[in-house]
Amino acid sequence: MRRDVVVIGGGAAGLMCAAVAAGRGRRVVLLEHNGRVGRKIEISGGGRCNFTNLHTTPKNFLSSNPHFAKSALARYTPADFVALVERHRIRYHEKKLGQLFCDGSSREIIRMLLDECEAAGAEVLTDCRVLSVSRRGAEGGSADAGRKTPRAAGSEPGSGANDDEKAGEAGRGFVVETGRGRFECESVVVATGGLSIPKLGATDFGYRLARQFGLKVVGPRPALVPLTLSEKDLAHFRPLSGISIGAVVRAGGAEFAENFLVTHRGLSGPAVLQVSSYWSPGQALSIDLLPQLDARALLEAARDNNTNLTAALATHLPRRFSQVWCELYAPPRQPRAYSRDELRLLAELLHSWTVEPTGTEGFQKAEVTAGGVDTDELSSKTLEARRARGLFFVGEVVDVTGHLGGFNFQWAWASGHAAGLHA
């Protein structure tokens, strides 16, 4: 079966890419191994899909190269996606902080993307397992298949002395072997996502394929993920699970002012999920429990009024949390028995409470995967591999990871769109 473009993976990035490429008149087939496309879109945003964020900037993304995402994000913006959503008459609302959600169901976004594919003439095959990808003429999945004609460092398509050689390589195209037959094509777009939530069909296929073609992969790790605490800490905090507190949480040079949540295994909630993407094993979190307040003034006022410290803290923090926190750090005494220095130290601790996570809840619970195909290997404009002409990587499989709040889908749309214009 001959096609111009084979897209592997029917998630957000793959569907967008297939529709855009087919809209240019390319013969496109999208291959998805699940029984239906868009499983993550379906469950996202609690079933309402936080499909973009109005305040998207490159600063909302982590990558070994923080500049990489700029080009695609600038050329396909949240406004472009909103225009598409409005064209399909999908009703939506801003929940908070620029986060746009469907009023109805995330299935409307999947329907929209499938309608776009159909209108453009892209074929979508589900239950289709991809077995191997190789250069045409090098079938058999040789690990060297992608390295036949490495492009001169820094050269872009259509420039430099070895254009004929490159054109020859591109002209050779690919053979994609699947459980539903063999496809020959000029371009392959890898949109297989990250490793999070394996039960929804996540695989390491994209990383393996990148390595097969000689491309570097930045070690994938769980991100936007709950953090775990030691049994010793849990003995104190587990009974508080379900309590949510507005705070500023810091780790790895990043800080987020949102709520965090105590869970039966550790900490979660938006502030902890956000900071988890920057956290490395062995690091401590620093949590400002009273970011809007001068804790020292609060404690000194309690001392002057002879109010016990738990009661004073409970005016700003959940009572049960204040109790446990005081049991740990403020020995029970008459408030007036505290010296000013002791209160100063306690105040400092309230503004930078140190918590040492033991790990994360892993890919089973991670909303995304950080790391992925090294951006040095890809053109930021087209998402094509510099050393493997005709091979593109889009979406989460690339080493670009968004913050919580609609940014990961915006990257999927933008990178899928960029590759769709060139594949």
Looking at 64-72, 239-247, 328-336, 406-414, which segment touches ligand FDA (CB under 6 A)?
Answer: 406-414
Binding test (CB under 6 A) with ligand FDA, winner from 3, 26, 39, 417: 39
Q: Is 33 in the site for ligand FDA (CB under 6 A)?
A: yes
295-303: long-range contacts, CB 8 A cutoff, minimum separation 24? 295/346, 295/347, 295/348, 295/350, 295/351, 296/343, 296/344, 296/347, 298/347, 299/338, 299/343, 299/346, 299/347, 300/340, 300/343, 302/335, 303/335, 303/336, 303/338, 303/343
Residue 102 or 275: which CB sits closer to ligand FDA?
102
Distance separating alpha carbons of residues 391 and 214, to the nearest angstrom: 12
Closest separation in Å from C-beta 95 to ligand FDA: 10
Looking at 36-44, 133-141, 265-273, 279-287, which segment touches ligand FDA (CB under 6 A)?
Answer: 36-44
Q: Is 201 in the site for ligand FDA (CB under 6 A)?
A: yes
Binding test (CB under 6 A) with ligand FDA, winner from 60, 187, 192, 277: 192
Residue 145 or 191: which CB sits closer to ligand FDA?
191
Distance separating alpha carbons of residues 418 and 380, to the nearest angstrom: 9
Residue 277 or 322: which CB sits closer to ligand FDA?
277
Assess contact for 126 and 179: CB atoms under 8 A: no
Closest separation in Å from C-beta 6 to ligand FDA: 11
Closest separation in Å from C-beta 366 to ligand FDA: 7
Kindly tell me the burial class for residue 199, based on how many C-beta atoms sit within 10 Å of its own C-beta (0-12, 13-18, 19 or more). exposed
Q: Is 417 in the site for ligand FDA (CB under 6 A)?
A: no
Distance separating alpha carbons of residues 199 and 212, to the nearest angstrom: 25
Residue 36 or 236: which CB sits closer to ligand FDA?
36
Distance separating alpha carbons of residues 112 and 132, to the nearest angstrom: 30
Q: Is the dihedral of CA 272, 273, 274, 277 positive or negative?
A: positive
- Distance, CA of 246 to chain centre: 23
Residue 274 or 322: which CB sits closer to ligand FDA?
274
Assess contact for 227 and 360: CB atoms under 8 A: yes
Of residues 230, 282, 205, 220, the one with CA closest to residue 251: 282
Question: Token pair 């404009």 is at which residue?
Answer: 381
Per-residue binder mask for ligand FDA (CB under 6 A), 351-390, x = binder: ----------------xx----------------------
Q: Is 90 in the site for ligand FDA (CB under 6 A)?
A: no
Residue 162 or 259: which CB sits closer to ligand FDA?
259
Q: Is 288 in the site for ligand FDA (CB under 6 A)?
A: no
Which residues here bind ligand FDA, judged by CB under 6 A?
Answer: 8-14, 31-34, 39-40, 43-45, 49-50, 129-130, 191-193, 196-197, 201, 203, 205, 367-368, 395-396, 406-409, 412
